[in-house]
Each structure stands twice: as structure tokens, then as C-alpha cells.
Amino acid sequence: MTDLPAPLDLPRLKSLLGDVAPRLDVDALPVCDSTSSVLMARAEAGAPSGSVLVCERQTAGRGRRGRSWIAPAGGSLAFSLLWRFAPGSKPPMGLSLAVGVAVARALEKLGVTGAALKWPNDVLIGGRKLAGILVELAPLRNRSMAVVIGIGINLLLPEGFPDGPDMRACDLASVLSATPSRPEVLAALLRELVRALDAFQSGGFAALRGDWLARHAHQDRAVRLLDEHAPALEGVCRGVDEDGALLLETEAGVCRILAGEVSLRPSESARDADDPA
């Protein structure tokens, strides 16, 4: 078994969280199947909003569309956050995009330039995948809507790390002259997540839409939308609406695509060898 990295320095993390520290309860495990699965069970048992679970090695990490999330021990940061919304809140349309804004902001605070967002849940650098996001509804308790937000970010990938089915991967070590420590990365992410979730609670995705569009990886580009249950759809990305739906201009007009079991890629005619997203 691959050696695990040193346990996360929780006191150091708390000091880096600053004024959001009282709103978060961070727990760290050496090994688990999936941080989101474990936190989902804790949510059902009544865990409070702001519960965070970090794991050094996941044995069954998962991403969108039922795919596995490969997180090499010591080479990545995988964690999940439980967030409960006020009773009566509307369904969280566009939440995965809002989380993407938070991740991009955190990366920028750490010195990363060129972070781009691929609809609906990937963070790219130079067309390569740096981080992935998975947002799942948690079991209702006292009629309070809750979500579990899972995030995986590559810190230092081992040589020969396999590429994903849609794109190649990159890591923080390749885009920064000095890789921040795991507490520094996690603190930056959690601070921006709290900020974005507060904005989302008060104004929905519309409050963050401008920031998302400013980082949209495929804005006004020809793309191909793949769906396991329907023919491929080609068109030009025209951004997203206030619910986070993709606006795809096709020969038949502008289609509104809600996040689902789809994969977005540059069209074959528009694909650039230097941008394989």
C-alpha cells in the first residue's frame, strides 16, 4: 500500500481559516472509501452545516457521471463540505458552478493564473484538469435543504499518472514555483467556499454568474455535447443563464442545457492541440 502523507495539521489549518473558522468543523481521516459518502451518512445522522471531512487516501472516490476520482496519496487533496441552507430555500440550481467560482478564486489567491471553468464542474489550467467538483443533495432533516460538496484537486501527480476520459490532468506543482502546503490550499478553498455559499444563499447563482462567465473556458467556442442517451449536439457556447444552464447556439436556435449525464468537449473542427480540454 502506498505510504500515506503526514496527517493534516488541523491547528495550523484553523489558524489559516481566520474569521470563518468558527463556522467550520474539520475532521481528517487517514483512509475512507469516499469523503462524500462518509459525510453523507453523517448528514443523515444530523451533522451540522459546515462539517468538513478530509481524507489522506480514498479507496472509492467518485466524480460526476458515476466515474471514479483517482486521488494518489500525498499527491492530491480530497475533501467534502456539508452545507445546510435556510428552511424554505429554493432548489440549488447552478450550485456546482458557484462552487467552481470559489475554487477558481482560491487558486488565484494562491498565485495560480489562468484558472478556467468548464461547465458544469471542472477547473482547468491550459486546458488540463486541475480540480473536479461533485455536488449532491443530502438527506433532508427538519425540512432544511442540504448539500454535500466534494472537491478533488491535484497537488503533485506521480509520473505516469493516467489521463482522464475527457482530458489530460495537471497539478499545482506544475503551475506554481512553490507548491503550497495542504493546510494552505484547504484553508484558501474553504474561505472562498464560505464566501460563495453565503452569496448563493442570498442571491442564487445570479450573484456569481458574472464571475463564472469571466472564467468560462469555452465562451463563444464551437463545442460538441455528448449524451449517452441522445445524439451528439454541436453548437457554440454562449455562456450560462441565471440558473446555471448552458446556452448552446445551434442551427435550430439557442438550446438551454441543464447539467446532467452529458460531456462537453471542443468540436473536432475547433480542437487545438495545445488545448485538449
Question: Which member of 57, 64, 128, 182 is catalytic?
Answer: 64
In a domain, 174, yes or no: yes
Which residue's entry shows cell 481524507?
A: 55
In a domain, 62, yes or no: yes
More confident residue, 60 or 156: 156
More confident residue, 167 or 64: 167
Tell me the pLDDT band of 266, cut-offs 50, 70 and 90: confident
Assess whether 154 and 23 both reside in one domain: yes
Check if 64 is active-site. Answer: yes
Domain that holds residue 234: 222-266
Assess whether 89 and 35 both reside in one domain: yes
Final residue before a domain boundary, out of 213, 234, 253: 213
Beta strand 51-58 pairing with 25-32: parallel
Final residue before a domain boundary, out of 190, 213, 236: 213
Burial (0-12, 13-18, 19+ Cβ within 10 Å), 58: buried
Q: Tell me which residue of 264, 228, 232, 227 sits closest to 247, measured CA to CA.
A: 264
Indicate whether 27 pLDDT > 90: yes
Assess whether 103 and 207 both reside in one domain: yes
Question: Which member of 129, 182, 191, 215 is catalytic?
Answer: 129
Whether the pTM exceeds 0.85: the reply is: yes
In a domain, 148, yes or no: yes
Residue 261: the pLDDT is 58
Q: Tell me which residue of 35, 9, 11 sits closest to 21, measured CA to CA.
A: 11
In a domain, 124, yes or no: yes
Write the CATH number for 130.
3.30.930.10
Q: What average pLDDT does the segment 202-212 reach? A: 97
Cα–Cα distance list, 188 to 14, 86, 119, 159, 182 (Å): 11, 25, 22, 27, 10
In a domain, 271, yes or no: no
Assess whether 151 and 190 both reside in one domain: yes
Assess whether 176 and 240 both reside in one domain: no
Check if 265 is active-site. Answer: yes
In a domain, 4, yes or no: no
Cα–Cα distance list, 61 to 57, 149, 152 (Å): 9, 13, 9
Q: pLDDT of 145-200, one tens digit each?
A: 899 999 999 998 877 665 655 568 899 999 999 989 999 999 999 999 999 999 99
Assess whether 80 and 177 both reside in one domain: yes
Write the CATH number for 260.
2.30.30.100
In a domain, 238, yes or no: yes
The total number of structural domains in the chain stands at 2
Task: Find the length of the chain.
Answer: 277
Final residue before a domain boundary, out of 213, 231, 247: 213
Phi, psi of 82 (to 5 degrees): -95, 130
Question: Which member of 84, 182, 215, 265 is catalytic?
Answer: 265
In a domain, 274, yes or no: no
Assess whether 145 and 236 both reside in one domain: no
What mean pLDDT is reported for the chain?
Answer: 87
Assess whether 156 and 242 both reside in one domain: no
Assess whether 228 and 198 both reside in one domain: no
Assess whether 153 and 259 both reside in one domain: no
Assess whether 64 and 194 both reside in one domain: yes
Cell digits of residue 92: 440549488
Assess whether 41 and 156 both reside in one domain: yes
Residue 168: the pLDDT is 86
